[in-house]
Amino acid sequence: MIKKIKYFMVFFFFSFVVFGMWEWLQTPFFQDITDKINYIVWYRFHCTIGDIMILGVSMVIWSLAKKNNMWFFDPSKQDYLAVTVLGASYTAYSEILNVVIRESWAYSEYMPLIPGTHIGIIPIIQWITLPTLIIYICARFIRGKK
């Protein structure tokens, strides 16, 4: 149990750092509804926490499907792929829902779209790359490998 608690703390820390940096780096690809810095900081923080939740839920879903809640200590290629597909699938759904249907946020003119869709490429790139990076870093950190 202690090992899982340690993993959760490491996971939250690295996820917060990686997703937080990503949220700030992708800022030019989205339109902010205000120019007030406190709102912009809040939106980035909110999105970072949302990213952590999406990754965490994707990992839980995969743990249930795999019937193994310890896989993330030594993830396989199949584990990385499954979590990536879950996260990217939810992100594609969320982008359509929030950009096209609800208009909760909008892309700037700099956001490249996946051809034939209204889905931005940048959020999908995020979910193809960052979950694998975070899970890999956490697993190595917990195992003590440098």
Cα distance between residue 86 and residue 48, in whole Å: 18
pLDDT at 145: 61
pLDDT at 32: 77
Predicted structure pTM score: 0.92
128, pLDDT greater than 60: yes
Transcribe 17-77 into DSSP letters.
HHHHHHHHHTGGGEE-S---HHHHHHHHHHHHHHHHHHHHHHHHHHHHHHT-S-GGGS--H
**Under 8 Å between Cβ of 110 and 28:** yes
Q: What is the pLDDT of residues 86-118, one digit of tens each?
A: 999 999 999 999 999 999 999 999 999 999 999
